[in-house]
Amino acid sequence: MALLLRFVLLCGVADFTRSLSITTPDQMIEKAKGETAYLPCKFTLSPEDQGPLDIEWLLSPADNQKVDQVIILYSGDKIYDDYYQDLKGRVHFTSSDVKSGDASINVTNLRLSDIGTYQCKVKKAPGVGNKKIQLTVLVKPSGIRCYVDGSEEIGNDFKLKCEPKEGSLPLNYEWQKLSNSQKLPTSWLSEMNSPVISVKNASTEYSGTYSCTVTNRVGSDQCQLHLNVVPPSNRAGTIAGAIVGILLALVLIGLIVFCCRKKRREEKYEKEVHHDIREDVPPPKSRTSTARSYIGSNHSSLGSMSPSNMEGYSKTQYNQVPSEDFERTPQSPTLPPAKESC
């Protein structure tokens, strides 16, 4: 009797496990930032599964500080995809008819915040099943910059550097020479997979075009640089030329300042002289009015003089009158005739 009961129970468990089954195994998926992640979840039903079909996707964030979030739900023949604000508009069922056995979803335009564990739950009473998928979002190498750190002169030491602006670790580097012999110098071979190549005692043989390729698990990027090793420059002459140039510039600046200050002083002096002129000083008389005044005074003097000394006085006095502005010819005064004595 006990054996029969155990057999019935085992058959019941077997039947229950066979009722609803998710055929997609647990897995880990790596995708690049900005790409679309396909998260599979396919299931099969049995005749015993007669209840309503419910499908639920949940996200457990990687930081473990947030509770599980429902990101999309199918229930009552309707789809609800606005539960989680961070994924709103970016998560969709891949099948137009999920009842056919495909509950897979796409997460588009991936972000670093999308990293976490996604769980697919399918329920159709009495059957229930779930699967987990670990999603990792990585950043492709991009913005690679190649440059020479140091002076590219014969005999000098400098470095070739390869720096990506962004990219998820681990990053792999590979240097190649694209011109001339297309072979890296022997001393560089130990650093051909390094972001930095140290060049010692440079020679012209090192000149050429080099490329650096940076890769990680989701992508790669490349940059190039042109190395031109030249003879040492005349540094003393360069320094002397720079000093002379600086001195000439200082002299020119000094002359400009001097000229400006001199001009300002002259303008200031002219303004001071102009303001010092007295406004109450009458204007000087003209030479014409002066001459007329002078003659008038002499006429008054002539009236009191005797005829005996009139002739000599007239010649002497009128000869002293300025003639530049005085055009009228002076005439001798007419005197009444003297009475004859009896």
pLDDT digits (tens, 9 = 90+) for 108-140: 999 999 999 999 999 998 999 999 999 999 999
Over the Cα atoms of the chain, what is R_g? 56
Query: In the chain, which ranges are continuous DSSP H helix?
Result: 2-19, 235-276, 287-302, 307-319
Mean pLDDT confidence for 171-177: 95
Which percentage of the chain shows pLDDT scores above 70?
72
The three-class DSSP label of residue 271 is helix
CA distance 19 to 46: 5
Q: What is the pLDDT of residues 199-238, one digit of tens each?
A: 999 999 899 999 999 999 999 999 999 999 999 876 656 6
Pairing of strands 27-32, 127-138: parallel
Q: What is the CB neighbour count within 10 angstroms for residue 218? A: 18
Average pLDDT value for the chain: 80
Helix axes of 307-319 and 287-302: crossing angle, nearest 10 degrees:
170
Structural domains in the chain plus CATH codes: 21-138 (2.60.40.10), 142-227 (2.60.40.10)
pLDDT of 58 reads 96
pLDDT band at 141 (very low <50, low <70, confident <90, very high): very high
**Terminal alpha carbon distance of the chain:** 210
Which residues, including other chains, have CB under 8 Å from residue 113's CB and lie 6 or more apart?
Answer: 61, 86
pLDDT band at 2 (very low <50, low <70, confident <90, very high): very low
Using alpha carbons, select from 194, 197, 188, 234 the residue that is nearest to residue 214.
194
91-100, 238-247, 269-278, 303-312: least confident range: 303-312
CA distance 281 to 181: 99
DSSP summary character for residue 110: -
pLDDT of 18 reads 56
Q: What is the pLDDT of residues 75-110, one digit of tens each?
A: 999 999 988 999 999 999 999 999 999 999 999 999
pTM: 0.59
Q: What is the CB neighbour count within 10 angstroms for residue 148? A: 17
CA distance 123 to 5: 28
